[in-house]
Amino acid sequence: MYVRDACLVLGLIFMTLSATGCGVPGGPESNQTGATSIDGSAQEMESANSGMESMKHSVPLIPRQEFFGNPDKARARISPDGTKLALIAPLDGVLNVWVGPAEDLQAIRPVTHDTHRGVVRFFWAYTSEHLIYLQDVDGNEDHHVYSVNLETDQIKDLTPITGIKARIQEVSERFPEEILVGVNDREGHQLHDVYRVNIVTGQRELVQHNPGFAGFITDDNYQVRLAQTFTSDGGQVYLMPDGQGDWREYLQIGAVDAMTTGLAGFDKAGSMFLLDSRGRNTAALKLLDLETGEETLLAENERADLSGIIAHPTEKHVQAVTFTYARREWKILDESIRGDINYLKEVAEGEIQITSRTLNDKLWTVAFIMDHGPVQFYLYDREQQQARYLFSSRPSLEQLPLVRMHAEVIPARDGLELVSYLSLPSGTDPDGNARPSCPLPLVLLVHGGPWSRDSWGFDPTHQLLANRGYAVLSVNYRGSTGFGKNFVNAADREWAGKMHLDLMDAVKWAIAERVSNPDRIAIMGGSYGGYATLVGLTFTPEVFACGVDVVGPSSLLTLLENPPPYWMTFMPVMKKRVGDHTTEEGRKFLESRSPLFLADKIKRPLLIGQGANDPRVKQMEADQIVKAMEGQNIPVTYMLFQNEGHGFARPENRLAFNAVTEAFLAEHLGGRFEPIGDTFEGAVFTVPSGSQQVPGLAQALQTRDDLP
């Protein structure tokens, strides 16, 4: 298992989407949202209109470029030997990796030279003379692994094989010039074998042939210690090599705990860190002796799963953990870093993230996450206990009228707590109580996954929409991760069921709390959030004034019938938690939860954004709902981006889609918007349907001769 920057990162197979964005306790819980009616009064409408008009004159319109263009700099990472600093910054308008002396940020230079999609996923090799990065082609997620030799500037493709999705398996300071990489280069591309790859020469040696597992757990000695796969009922099982070329079962985890329990890397002595919800609700951190099976509890929290681990870079013992219910909470396990954390809490406002550490642990890079400003990066010297400011990701944001993000806990009708985040337009909350002086148009922003979560922090979509005059609400509906196994399991087979009712309860809460005008509510999201948008417009067609769907599946049948090949080992989980597309009963159920088959119910305007190369939610998902709506003469606007996948990575495309989105929302919610103008410059997309239905879209298209 790959551990980087001394942090154990909990990954999800069904990834969330960054195209639309999102991010405690404190909200009133007295109203019974399940019984609240969705209605409003003419007086409230008049007050809301007055408030919007006042805002137009008092708060400047922030250009969307400030939110969706490239950052000035991002992702500061110190080299293992402490001599160099790497970061992401634009080169001729495209994000690339830059490197320079740790003591002189002015001397950084670009070491990658991508001119198309950008390089954003990188880390230091333990040589401190090489960087490793991953990149695909136009969002197809067929990632290759590349190394950059900082002495020669040579860039080498370490996985030069067509049609593969390579993934990092392990990086160890014990083998500075080698890494372990998973490569699915066999026929069918379903299984990843483990290779040992020399980052200098590119030489590749097979370490472990995959006989049918989802993945492997390896250690710092590059030994394969365990394999992991999923059982037919959606649980998971860990297996050990038996020493005779076969595997024996070591640990089986039932489906009820499978999303919140798992092995997560080794300490120096060879014991494993175990995230464990068995016999409890939330995932605690334990240390597991693989030989004796003895478990030692290290940290737990009653309300939240473990969300992060900080381990020593060479000794590998856990020094601190974090739990995130509504806001991140630290728990120190190693007193030697308590003074460091206490000092850093005084350096800057915001939540602390330790993003990299030197091998001798003398230098850290630290990011401070804010809700109303850019990320700030510091280089922290532990011996001097002094933090040196490096840069902020977007300095231009620091002087703009950005808004705060308020944490709310909204009760669902069956008693579950929905941790949510609310942003209000500047000047609409004079009392500072997270409630506007009069109800506002609302955008319900639904996160992807669904096995992901919204969190507190700076969110460009929240900020853009709040600046345009909308309240913005992000809801951790059931199935969202981080709140214990009961919360995750409550979403099983509840797509378009109770998961949607959670969103409806949040809407009712917003109306009851006078946050929202009931006649001007939009639903918007990406991936699962896009699906939730389609569900909102088909299952509850009277509730939302309009919807914005980004790469959302329209049919659960076609979603499950067309997964990427490397998802096949995960499909038992999808069958259990979404539905079984291989049985007649299961297909009928999935059809009943698919917006495609209810397209004739849509009454309100819909905007769809889709990446043509999306391997997860394929283009057919957008095509078929658009065709069904057109067949019923129901208006829909459809933007298809030819060089994007599951979300929009290129800033030109992000700007183009958000320009159309804010014009679309203004048309149907009454907010303000920045005209499209020349925003389409450099974007690559077509509008197969509905160009006349968004203010300024058809005119902007007519001025573009280079659009495909």
Check: CB of residue 310 under 8 Å from CB of residue 7: yes
Nearest-angstrom CA–CA distance, 660 and 75: 29
Distances (CA, A) of 559 to 13, 304, 580: 15, 31, 12
Nearest-angstrom CA–CA distance, 421 and 321: 23
Token pair belonging to 485: 């196994």
Token pair belonging to 210: 């995959």
Which is catalytic among the residues 646, 668, 689, 691? Answer: 646
- Dihedral sign, Cα of residue 589, residue 534, residue 325, residue 17: positive
Distances (CA, A) of 282 to 56, 110, 301, 306, 367: 46, 44, 7, 8, 27
Check: CB of residue 603 under 8 Å from CB of residue 228: no
Pairing of strands 167-171, 155-157: unpaired
| Residue 609 host element (H or E) | strand 606-611
Which is catalytic among the residues 193, 276, 505, 614? Answer: 614
Q: How open is the CA angle 651-653-658, to the nearest 5 degrees?
A: 95
Phi, then psi, of 388 in degrees rounded to 5 = -105, 125
Check: CB of residue 194 under 8 Å from CB of residue 159: no
Distances (CA, A) of 266 to 220, 223, 273, 702: 8, 12, 6, 59
Nearest-angstrom CA–CA distance, 403 and 426: 6
- Give the count of alpha carbons within 13 A of 21, CB side only: 22
Nearest-angstrom CA–CA distance, 486 and 255: 12
Nearest-angstrom CA–CA distance, 167 and 210: 14
Q: How far is CA 661 from the centre of its chain?
A: 20
Amino acid at 599: A
Residue 348 is classified by DSSP as S
Residue 160, by phi and psi: left (phi above 0), alpha (psi -120 to 50) or beta?
beta
Residue 541 is classified by DSSP as T
Beta strands in 312-466, from DSSP E residues, in sequence order: 318-324, 328-332, 351-357, 363-369, 376-381, 386-392, 405-411, 417-423, 440-446
Amino acid at 594: S
Phi, then psi, of 472 in degrees rounded to 5 = -125, 130
614 is known as an active-site residue: yes
| Residues sharing a CB contact under 8 Å with residue 384, sequence separation 6 or more, in sequence order | none
Report which of 558, 650, 556 is spatially closest to residue 594, judged by C-alpha positions.
556
527 is known as an active-site residue: yes
Amino acid at 547: G
Torsion of CA 107, 372, 506, 616, to 10 degrees: -10
Residue 537 is classified by DSSP as H
Which is catalytic among the residues 277, 356, 474, 527? Answer: 527
User: If you search the block for the tokens 């198309």, which residue do you land on?
Assistant: 116
Nearest-angstrom CA–CA distance, 184 and 566: 8
| Residues sharing a CB contact under 8 Å with residue 704, sequence separation 6 or more, in sequence order | 680
Helical H segments across 87-200, by residue range: none
Q: How far is CA 157 from the centre of its chain?
A: 27
646 is known as an active-site residue: yes
Residue 192 is classified by DSSP as P
Check: CB of residue 419 under 8 Å from CB of residue 325: yes
Check: CB of residue 697 under 8 Å from CB of residue 685: no
Distances (CA, A) of 315 to 244, 269, 272, 273, 305: 32, 9, 13, 14, 25
Report the catalytic residues.
Answer: 527, 614, 646
